[in-house]
């Protein structure tokens, strides 16, 4: 069986390989061109130099002790998430996996000599392996050059893999522009360290020009979104932002809450990249808008997520936030910590942070759900808990919006009657027994709408 023969020779070969790379453009020079033609919607391309799906060896490195050690989760759970990321890419397969403990991620060689020999041996023995996924935020350029020269296969980090997942799920123009913005820092980082040649300078200038163009296009789209927000505020529909860790079941929950048949939830990471709005009715028949948002995930470079923060802007405008947790996931505690820290980083108001409804989703998969307190337990599979969740949302909406319940005596079937049905939530209708031409309507109505009613039908007469 072929072993990692001549390890020292491979180290020497790395020096030659590095010298070669520093005097060449990226192997797939056309990658730069993906930023051209943004007006056409940025056709999905890949950072990955091979155009075919890969058979991947997943390696999860972890810090075994010290201040940088992850104490919320475990290496094996991180390894499972890394496999899920690879399996999200169409036709990609994980063919081997390994957890490796380290003291630091800062070495140029990344691993120590013994670990490199072990990894090299695994790769040389398994002919199915065509790529390595190193489950870290972002490799330094020299680390990637070294490892690819040693392993003789492409080496990807989380940044590269997640960007490609984003590309696969980007449907709208805005999502494609945001993916392009997320990709620029990565491609630019792969050019740095190879200075001194005018073609590189030219390509870096191209990045800057296209980056400004994309920012302008995204800015225009944001202005349109703000117009839509203003329209929603004018209509006074309460906004419910649904957030959570990726694949926690946000879209499935919204489908259960709204009964919207056009929604097609997928059991995939980052299945939703765009903000989407879905109208639903609460028990009082009050109309609300549910906002589906991009899923959160841990250990992602800030530069990768920055363009997608815009998809969470609607959370800043929401009346209520519903935080969906997959309580069947073994890493649910760490996922919850990550989502909450991300929400806090968005500088949400204290009022809305205090008005978050936590949903324990996929409760049908949990043997002892009593361990999960202070949350509404749901299962989208059998609609368990959906009624209770709607009631909790309604209670929260009434608390923060100033919508009040009042009883009004109006002429039966008159203009006031029709106006209230259009502009409020009618809870109950009782005929006035003393005069059947009048009725008592119990309604939920906002302060501004009540003011409009009084101005139109009371003060205006």
> What is the pLDDT, as a whole number, of residue 10?
43
Task: List all residues 6 or more positions away from 258 whose beta carbon is below 8 Å from its beta carbon.
Answer: 278, 279, 280, 290
Give the contacts of 367 (CB within 8 A, at least 6 positions apart).
none
* Banded pLDDT at 172 (limits 50, 70, 90): confident
Q: Report the relative pairing of strands 276-281 and 425-431 from DSSP bridges.
A: unpaired
Write down the CATH number for the domain with range 7-211: 3.40.50.11060
Task: Determine which of 44-48, 70-74, 135-139 has the lowest per-residue pLDDT on average.
Answer: 44-48
- The predicted pLDDT at position 270 comes to 67
Q: What is the mean pLDDT of the chain?
A: 79
403 Cβ contact list (under 8 Å, min separation 6)? 238, 286, 397, 444, 445, 446
What would the pLDDT profile of 1-41 be if each residue is shown by its tens digit?
Answer: 444 444 444 443 443 333 333 333 233 333 333 344 332 33
pLDDT at res. 237:
79
Whether residue 386 is predicted with pLDDT greater than 90 in this model: the reply is yes
Residues 199-221: tens digit of each pLDDT = 666 666 676 777 777 777 766 66
| Burial profile 148-184: b = 16 or more Cβ within 10 angstroms, e = fewer | bbbbebbbbbbbbbbbbbbbbbbeebbbbbbbbbbbb
Distance from C-alpha of 207 to C-alpha of 116, rounded to nearest angstrom:
35
Confidence of residue 224 (pLDDT cuts 50, 70, 90): low
Rounded distance, CA 33 to CA 407, Å?
Answer: 64
Q: Quick one: which of 58, 272, 240, 75 has its CA closest to 165?
A: 272
Q: CATH 3.40.50.300: which residues of the chain? A: 236-399
The C-alpha atoms of residue 175 and residue 171 are separated, in whole angstroms, by: 6
The pLDDT value given to residue 321: 92
Q: Which two tokens stand for residue 430?
A: 């009782």
Share of the chain above pLDDT 90, in %: 36
Q: Among 104, 99, 96, which residue's Cα sits nearest to residue 74?
A: 99
Q: What is the pLDDT of residues 401-430, one digit of tens each?
A: 878 889 999 988 889 999 998 888 888 899
**Other beta carbons within 10 Å of 418:** 11
Most confident of 107-121, 176-190, 230-244, 285-299: 107-121
Q: How confident is the model at residue 198 (pLDDT cuts 50, 70, 90)?
A: low
Question: Which residues are bridge partners to 277 per DSSP?
Answer: 291
User: Exposure pattern of 199-235 as b/e (b: 16+ CB <10 Å)?
Assistant: ebeebbeebeebbebbeebbeebeeebeeeeeebeee
> CA-to-CA distance for 434 and 254, rounded, in angstroms?
45
- pLDDT band, very low/low/confident/very high, at 233 (cuts 50, 70, 90): low
Q: Looking at residue 273, what is its pLDDT? A: 63
- For domain 236-399, the CATH architecture is 3-Layer(aba) Sandwich (3.40)
Q: Give me the phi and psi of 267, to 5 degrees please.
A: -85, 65
User: CA-CA distance, 158 to 134, in Å (whole number)?
Assistant: 7
Q: Is the pLDDT of residue 330 over 50?
A: yes
Please compute the mean of the pLDDT values over residues 271-287 and round it to a whole number. Answer: 80
Span(s) in the chain for CATH 3.40.50.11060: 7-211
Average pLDDT over residues 86-111: 93
- Classify 356 as helix, strand or coil: strand
DSSP letter for 40, please.
G
Pairing of strands 320-326, 376-377: unpaired
Q: Return the pLDDT at 306.
A: 66
Cβ neighbours around 104 below 10 Å, total: 10
């Amino acid at each position: 069986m072929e072993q990692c023969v001549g390890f020292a020779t491979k180290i020497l070969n790395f020096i030659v390989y590095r010298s070669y790379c520093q005097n060449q453009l990226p192997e797939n020079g056309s990658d730069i061109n993906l930023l051209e033609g943004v007006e056409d919607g940025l056709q999905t391309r890949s950072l990955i130099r091979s155009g075919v799906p890969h058979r991947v060896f997943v390696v999860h490195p972890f810090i075994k002790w010290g201040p940088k050690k992850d104490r919320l989760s475990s290496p094996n759970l991180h390894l499972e998430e890394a496999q899920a990321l690879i399996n999200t890419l169409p036709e990609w397969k994980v063919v081997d996996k390994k957890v490796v403990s380290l003291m630091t991620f800062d070495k140029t060689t990344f691993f120590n000599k013994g670990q490199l020999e072990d990894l090299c041996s695994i790769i040389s023995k398994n002919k199915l392996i065509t790529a390595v996924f190193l489950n870290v935020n972002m490799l330094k350029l020299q680390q990637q050059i070294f490892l690819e020269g040693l392993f003789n296969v492409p080496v990807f980090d989380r940044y590269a893999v997640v960007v490609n997942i984003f590309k696969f799920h980007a449907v709208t123009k805005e999502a494609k522009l945001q993916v392009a913005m997320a990709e620029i820092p990565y491609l630019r980082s792969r050019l740095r360290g190879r200075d001194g040649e005018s073609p590189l300078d030219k390509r870096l200038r191209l990045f800057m020009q296209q980056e400004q163009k994309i920012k302008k296009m995204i800015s225009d789209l944001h202005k349109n979104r703000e117009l839509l927000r203003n329209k929603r505020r004018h209509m006074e529909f309460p906004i419910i932002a649904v957030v959570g860790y990726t694949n926690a079941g946000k879209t499935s929950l919204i489908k259960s809450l709204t009964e919207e048949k056009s929604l097609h939830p997928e059991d995939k990471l980052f299945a939703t990249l765009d903000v989407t709005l879905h109208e639903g009715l609460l028990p009082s028949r009050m109309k609300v808008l549910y906002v589906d948002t991009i899923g959160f995930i841990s250990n992602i470079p800030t530069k990768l997520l920055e363009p997608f923060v815009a998809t969470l802007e609607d959370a800043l405008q929401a009346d209520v936030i519903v935080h969906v947790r997959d309580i069947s996931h073994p890493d649910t505690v760490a996922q919850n910590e990550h989502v909450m820290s991300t929400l806090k980083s968005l500088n949400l108001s204290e009022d809305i942070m205090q008005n978050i409804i936590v949903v324990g989703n996929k409760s049908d998969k949990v043997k002892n759900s009593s361990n999960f307190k202070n949350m509404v337990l749901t299962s989208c599979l059998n609609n368990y808990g959906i009624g209770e969740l709607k009631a909790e949302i309604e209670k929260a909406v009434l608390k923060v919006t100033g919508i009040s319940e009042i009883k009004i005596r109006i002429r039966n079937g008159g203009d006031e009657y029709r106006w209230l049905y259009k502009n409020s939530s009618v809870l109950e209708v009782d005929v006035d027994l003393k005069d059947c031409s009048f009725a008592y309507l119990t309604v939920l109505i906002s302060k501004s709408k009540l003011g409009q009613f009084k101005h139109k039908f009371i003060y205006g007469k």
